[in-house]
Amino acid sequence: MAFSVNKVGRHSRRQKNIIYKPMSEINVTPFVDVVLVLLIIFIVAAPLLTVGVQVQLPETAATPLTDTGEEPLTLSITAEGQVSINKTEYANTELIPKLRSIITERASDKIYLRGDKEARYEVIMQIMGALNNAGFRNISLVTDGGGPTFEPEN
């Protein structure tokens, strides 16, 4: 915080009787600079706050699902078959116990399954079976939009 000094008093030829009084005004320029820098940082970082596992989702013509209000639980499968719950990677042997502990803490049994389009179908089906075994009955497959609709062209 900065302050300046104002001159108060009589002005004579030699200015001997000058009294200096501090001026307590807030300099907002540094504050505005900091706020603008933070705004730019948040604008750049916002797209990075999505699920951190990189997978190439298949494209479909499906419509988006509605939001349930609870923070979404996402299970991602990479092309190599590595499984991650939200951003944390788990071995296949740890998956079912972890999912069972998660479902006891959640209000709904909804889970989003993000499978890489290069992942083997067998691995995705095994993971879906593990999700069902752990108690998740509401499994939503996540895809990218803009895929084929398989409708005949007129």
In the predicted structure, residue 68 carries a pLDDT above the cut 70: no
In tens, the pLDDT along 69-126 reads 677 888 999 988 899 998 889 998 888 899 999 988 888 888 999 988 898 989 989 9
> Can you list the domains of the chain with their CATH numbers?
4-48 (no CATH), 52-154 (3.30.420.270)
Q: What is the pTM of this model?
A: 0.57
For residues 40 and 143, give the distance between their C-alpha atoms in angstroms, rounded to a whole number. Answer: 30
In the predicted structure, residue 39 carries a pLDDT above the cut 80: yes
Higher-scoring residue by pLDDT: 58, 100: 100
Provide mean pLDDT across the span 51-71: 69
Sign of CA dihedral 135, 139, 142, 143: positive
In 73-125, the DSSP E strands lie at 74-77, 83-85, 88-90, 110-115
